A and B are shown apart, each in its own frame.
Chain A
């Protein structure tokens, strides 16, 4: 009866839908048309089938350009803010809550309730562990389903069959931590270049740690109330996981860490690694065996379950379009699409890489013989024990947050000494301390939890700081107005008559500066006092943004990094063009040749310079090769080495900037009247004395002005560092402007980002004012 009714409704809708205009859906994550890898072919067929069933729908890719070292959220956010939001949004577990709480994705309940069995069938086929990720309390308080999972993936421990054979190990993955360690020792005995276990390093190193955390029964976060989360990686289980990790990496050296993922060739020398297995495995099952992540003291396998979540953009106003977006999601995450994927891969001869559960589900049991024998059992076990990636508030930051305690432990000398001395009580005490501090920090930064009495205190400090900023701006403004009116009166000369003419000439510039500098400044200032949300109404939070930023260690770290960066750019970058110009000025012949050579680098446009140098800084790049020829041990890419990363961010700028930078000094040097040199020559002055008494005074005003400008400039320039290091390693190159950029565009925290910008802006105020004041007393001439 019900089915009949639905059918009737469906038939009634059909002609209208066919007659109505085509619906264009902008979709994230459409398969690339030109890709011929098996997974993409399968996806292409799923899409083809969808279009066959919904002929009125047109699918358009909604891919923002990906920016290196920048997470995918950023381009989605920009698309949404720019009014070209995708209709179907693809999100990760860890970032889903931000999307939900910002009101970006729409609840799907109304559509699910129209489905057969009110969608229970759909939801029923989803592993129960991940239902809480999809069904959540939304910004308005009600609990809804916000998305459906695509491509379920489970982590496992892959082992290299060849290396296991050579080490005399059984053809299976280790079952628990003890066995993992024993296996790793045997592999280690094979000697270099074989490495027992690979773990990622870099800003997301804790991603590898999570495999042990889950095994030890510990969680990164725990839910203390409905959608109220607190960091919990200081629990006893977590401590065990951290210590085990520490031992593998630092004490026994059974694991090697690297930020860059391994290529297929490099994997040949690695014994074990953690990796996802989903509907498609990416590595050759002939070479790699699969096992569930080893059990820890908690007695559970530490596998993770993950997926992409497809959701509908909440800003779609046309109900027909919204419906079509849901239809798309329901189809590609549904059984029929899975059947197409599995059968395509079987057809392509890849039955041995498909997870056995899917093979059985779609009637391809006979292909199970192609899969490695233990695969099915191991996969079932991994799935049964698996837990979802952290998905609470701001969890896209969790890996970064948990990496800080790892780095602190790895860098701590006392911890290592205590361990080597066998004093485990001291080891535990210190590790526990590190974890507790890190948890507090995470609670504050990520979850935004600060004890109320602390917050009151902070607000007082913040109001003091904000008052100081306001006062300094006022004082400085007054000072500027005074000094300007004084000097301006001197420059301007009374010419011509009063008329409307100057105002006409000034109008375009005045208007443009007002609209594109002053108005944005005012609006930006407003942002600093809001908990800004892109689509939902923003809340006024008073001084809280300032209060939190001022007590945020990351912010102060970024200031330190900025000073570090500024020190390098000012010592190397600032003086290089001056010395170069003097050299070019002194030489009697081939000036133009040298000048052109030095100018050459700047013809490569800005950002490309950093791409080029990144290539040269590579672990096997030309610079490391040269160092190795010189007998030095140089294996790490410069931009990943803690000692060289900052230099790697500075050098390309100097390389490209020295040539154009020296031109102004060249001009200034030409402006020094030659008579002065002749006179001093008669007085018997030598080279140094001329340099000191004539040349230096001649270009001093220019140097001072440029220096002030360079100090201010050293506080900017985030894009280049973003490309070179992305802020790593260990946040050592995360300068303030990069932090602000990340806060705003990858964490959606526009309020704190603007507060930071104001604080830094006020720190630089002095320099800028000095610059303006000096400039107002200068006259400007070309030298020829």
Chain B
């Protein structure tokens, strides 16, 4: 303490303390804030959403959870969300509150009770086609395959794929538009998975009318409904009012035809009576017939929304019935919101654990590398320092200089030859490449020697009298008395071995040799920010533990140079 207890109570000193505390707290805040942002981001299901950067709002706020829920369900894609609402102006990242029209839901329930829904009419929510995605159904699908096939080779044989691990399997990209689905074993197995294991509440129908109104018309005819009205002489108040009949309408037949023949997936398009006759005449495939030969009256859209509207008209005389997707989403959300909150909270971490820590030999490699590095540094350097400190040799200063001079070597000059040498010694892709070049450190030896010099000579003399050999003396006297400083050296070795990814990358390009950090780096190249944050936090845990438990030893082991 630089102040005595009496002066410490004076006003000026207290003021000084106050200032220091204020400054330190401010600094501490800037240390912690990026962490908070990182931790909060790592708990978000998807980083594209907007919200507070400091706290994942969905944990306490139901409307934020609702928004997150919809983002995950509609795969973060506004196009799909707009399709489900039939409205070009809704925004997935700022969704309207849940819908409440129970009459519509009742009608829909009645329809689904009497009409089984084919799986191909439904999109599987909570899944994504990105390769490194923590989406719930991506992982569920991977687990489903793992349970079914056991090992990845069996999966590859069965589905004709070439995956290296189950985590690489990505659900197929199935869309409302496009030229038909080419059924592969993988797509079939995904559809089977979705049919048997994904409950209805986690899917949504492919709504051709919704897509037509919300995405297609604004894009093709014009952003404003006025563009459409001007073109077709109608007086709709919004695109939501424009009908999408199953067969070609009289008004707006050209855009309807363009949408059905050029955009909509042919699986969703059937033929009318007249169409069937033309089809036989044309002698084309179903797809080509629709795209090139069909006349307006030949085609009938067979998506769920069209069938439902037709059924409602026929059965109840209700005109223009639409699938009550907002209400269905709200109901599904109410019954499962606790579940999704847990999923969003954990999914990034589960993903990182599965993708990195538990896979392959990453964990083992890291452990071996850290052990070799720490063990090696704690043996080679102290031994040399011990020899220099204990023995007066005529060459001592030359040897010290030999070690110290390496500090002056320009690192960029040696970088390339070190690499070439590792190659010549056939050390690339071995732990040797990662450990050997940095093991002996001239400066470290110099420092240790300086410290060993301060150990009282009497200790050695006493040990000699007890009949201790050289090794015992080194071990029991020198090393024993230098524990704190060795702890600092060990920590430095640990930090550099654990964090090294760049050299691991260059010197051991074989994935079988990669450490955790190399995998994390790889993940950072492809994954979203929230997954990256989760990976940073998970990999920081060992370092944090080491510091928390060893900080007192480390502080005692710091060597301070002082003038003699």
Residues of chain A having any CB pair with chain B under 8 Å: 32-37, 64-68, 78-79, 81-84, 162, 165, 286-287, 346-351, 366-367, 369-370, 477, 480-481, 484-485, 487-489, 491-496, 498-499, 501-503, 505-506, 508-510, 512-513, 515-521, 523-525, 527-528, 580, 583-588, 592, 594-608, 611-613, 615-616, 622, 625, 655, 658-659, 663-664, 666-668, 671, 674, 677-678, 681, 686-687, 690, 694-695, 701-702, 705, 716, 719, 737, 740-741, 744, 750, 753-754, 756-758, 760-761, 764-765, 768-769, 771-772, 775-784
State in angstroms the CA–CA spacing of A616 and B33 once bound together: 11
Take A598-B31, A779-B453, A782-B557 as given contacts and tell me if A757 and B413 are in contact as well, using a CB distance cutoff of 8 Å: yes
Indicate if the CB atoms of B450 and A744 lie closer than 8 Å: no
SS of B interface (majority): helix
Chain B positions 133 through 167: 1 when the CB is less than 8 Å from some CB of chain A, otherwise 0: 00000000000000000000000000001111000
Q: Which residue of A lies closest to B440 (CB)?
A: A512
CB within 8 Å of A: which of B440-465? Answer: 440, 442, 445-447, 449-451, 453-454, 457, 460
Indicate if the CB atoms of B37 and A616 lie closer than 8 Å: yes
Chain B residues, Cβ within 8 Å of A677: 1-4
Indicate if the CB atoms of A34 and B131 lie closer than 8 Å: yes
Take A517-B406, A517-B409, A608-B520 as given contacts and tell me if A509 and B383 are in contact as well, using a CB distance cutoff of 8 Å: yes
Chain B residues, Cβ within 8 Å of A622: 37, 53
Indicate if the CB atoms of B17 and A586 lie closer than 8 Å: yes
Given A35-B131, A489-B397, 19 more contacts at CB 8 Å? Answer: A33-B164, A36-B170, A36-B173, A82-B506, A347-B180, A348-B179, A496-B390, A523-B421, A596-B551, A600-B544, A605-B501, A605-B539, A664-B558, A757-B410, A757-B413, A758-B413, A761-B408, A779-B450, A779-B454
Chain B residues, Cβ within 8 Å of A784: 555-556
Chain A residues, Cβ within 8 Å of B236: none
Chain B residues, Cβ within 8 Å of A66: 525
State in angstroms the CA–CA spacing of A79 and B508 once bound together: 10
Chain A residues, Cβ within 8 Å of B446: 775
Indicate if the CB atoms of B418 and A33 lie closer than 8 Å: no
State in angstroms the CA–CA spacing of A771 and B177 once bound together: 70
Indicate if the CB atoms of A524 and B416 lie closer than 8 Å: yes
State in angstroms the CA–CA spacing of A608 and B436 once bound together: 25
Indicate if the CB atoms of B404 and A772 lie closer than 8 Å: yes
SS of A interface (majority): helix
Indicate if the CB atoms of B28 and A780 lie closer than 8 Å: no
State in angstroms the CA–CA spacing of A594 and B23 once bound together: 11
State in angstroms the CA–CA spacing of A481 and B454 once bound together: 24
Indicate if the CB atoms of A600 and B454 lie closer than 8 Å: no
State in angstroms the CA–CA spacing of A67 and B518 once bound together: 12
Take A34-B170, A678-B4, A777-B564 as given contacts and tell me if A521 and B414 are in contact as well, using a CB distance cutoff of 8 Å: yes
Q: Which residue of A lies closest to B5 (CB)?
A: A588
Interface size band for B: 35 or more
Chain B residues, Cβ within 8 Å of A719: 502
Count of inter-chain pairs, beta carbons less than 8 A: 394
Chain B residues, Cβ within 8 Å of A658: 27, 31
Indicate if the CB atoms of A521 and B397 lie closer than 8 Å: no
State in angstroms the CA–CA spacing of A594 and B21 once bound together: 10
Indicate if the CB atoms of A65 and B384 lie closer than 8 Å: no
Q: Does B281 contact A (CB under 8 A)?
A: no
Chain A residues, Cβ within 8 Å of B30: 655
Indicate if the CB atoms of B414 and A82 lie closer than 8 Å: no
Indicate if the CB atoms of B451 and A506 lie closer than 8 Å: no
State in angstroms the CA–CA spacing of A583 and B495 once bound together: 26
State in angstroms the CA–CA spacing of A588 and B554 once bound together: 21
Take A484-B400, A491-B453, A779-B450 as given contacts and tell me if A605 and B498 are in contact as well, using a CB distance cutoff of 8 Å: yes
B397 contact from A485, A515, A517, Cβ within 8 A: A485
Those 5 A-B pairs whose CB atoms lie nearest each other, nearest first = A349-B179, A605-B499, A761-B410, A488-B397, A780-B450
Chain A residues, Cβ within 8 Å of B24: 580, 583-584, 587, 594
Chain B positions 1 through 29: 1 when the CB is less than 8 Å from some CB of chain A, otherwise 0: 11110011000110011001101100110
Q: Which residue of A lies closest to B170 (CB)?
A: A34
State in angstroms the CA–CA spacing of A686 and B453 once bound together: 38
Q: Does B100 contact A (CB under 8 A)?
A: no
Chain B residues, Cβ within 8 Å of A580: 24, 27
